Amino acid sequence: MSNKEKLISMGYKSYENDEIIVYWNPKLCQHATECIRGNAKVFDYERRPWIDLSYAPAKEIADIIDRCPSGALKYEYKD
């Protein structure tokens, strides 16, 4: 089972572009808003889908996800 399949089986949703896959689990999200403070265009809770990876470079998104306190957000770089 790939990492992606594993995380999706755990309840994560996935968002991806050519460089990075971002995962988010609504059951774990504590709405601490670190992500929105990090970049309110990538992470916009009013929009659907609420994560849009086109608004920032993959590295910036990864740095923001590293500050998520709950583990609701995860990422992996594509090869």
**Among residues 34 and 44, whose Cβ is nearest to ligand SF4?**
34
Contact between 3 and ligand SF4 (CB under 6 A)?
no
DSSP code per residue over the chain: --HHHHHHHTT-EEEE-SSEEEEE-TTT-----HHHHH-TTTB-TTSSSSB-GGGS-HHHHHHHHTT-SSS-EEEEE--
**Among residues 57 and 71, whose Cβ is nearest to ligand SF4?**
71
Contact between 33 and ligand SF4 (CB under 6 A)?
yes
Contact between 35 and ligand SF4 (CB under 6 A)?
yes
Q: Which residues form the interface with ligand SF4 (CB under 6 A)?
A: 24, 29-35, 68-70, 72-73
